[in-house]
C-alpha cells in the first residue's frame, strides 16, 4: 500500500516545520499564515489529517467543525477586533492547495474593511 506524504499541516503539528503558533489545543492548532492576505490571517487546523476538506469534516465530525468555528471566533477576538471572515476552500478549483481540512481566519483587526474576492489557501 502506498501512503501519501504528510501534508505541511501534519508536519507543523508534528513539530517538523516551525510555525508562529497562536493556539495549541487538544484537537486543534492555529498559526499565522506565511503569506497573509489580511492584517490578521490565521489558519485553524484539526490535528487529525483524516479529513481532506470542510465537507468531509462536517460529515465525519460535526463537533470538531463546531469547535473549529468557535476557536476561530475566539482567536479573532484575541488577535483582532472580533470581526472576521472565515474561509474554507474545498477542492483545487476553489483554490485549495493543502488537502488537510483547515479554515482561514481573516481580519483587518480594526484597520478598515476586507477586500472582496480574495481566494486564499
Parallel/antiparallel/unpaired status of strands 85-87 and 103-107: antiparallel
Q: Which DSSP category does 26 fall into?
A: S
Q: Chain-centre distance of CA 90, in angstroms?
A: 12
Among residues 41, 79, 100, 102, the one annotated as catalytic is 102
Q: For residue 79, indicate whether it is catalytic.
A: no
CA-to-CA separations, 43 to 1, 16, 100, 105, in angstroms, rounded:
31, 17, 11, 6
Residues in the chain, overall count:
121
Cell for 40?
490578521
Left (φ > 0), alpha (ψ -120 to 50) or beta: where does 110 sit? left
What amino acid positions are annotated as catalytic residues? 102
Amino acid at each position: 500500500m502506498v501512503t501519501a506524504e504528510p501534508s505541511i499541516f501534519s508536519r507543523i503539528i508534528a513539530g517538523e516545520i516551525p510555525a508562529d503558533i497562536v493556539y495549541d489545543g487538544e484537537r486543534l492548532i492555529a498559526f499565522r499564515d506565511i503569506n497573509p492576505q489580511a492584517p490578521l490571517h490565521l489558519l485553524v487546523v484539526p490535528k487529525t489529517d483524516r479529513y481532506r476538506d470542510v465537507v468531509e469534516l462536517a460529515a465525519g465530525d460535526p463537533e470538531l467543525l463546531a469547535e473549529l468555528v468557535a476557536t476561530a471566533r475566539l482567536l479573532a477576538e484575541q488577535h483582532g477586533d472580533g470581526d472576521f471572515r472565515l474561509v474554507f476552500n474545498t477542492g483545487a478549483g476553489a483554490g485549495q492547495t493543502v488537502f488537510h481540512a483547515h479554515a482561514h481566519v481573516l481580519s483587518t483587526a480594526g484597520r478598515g474593511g476586507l477586500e472582496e474576492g480574495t481566494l486564499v489557501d
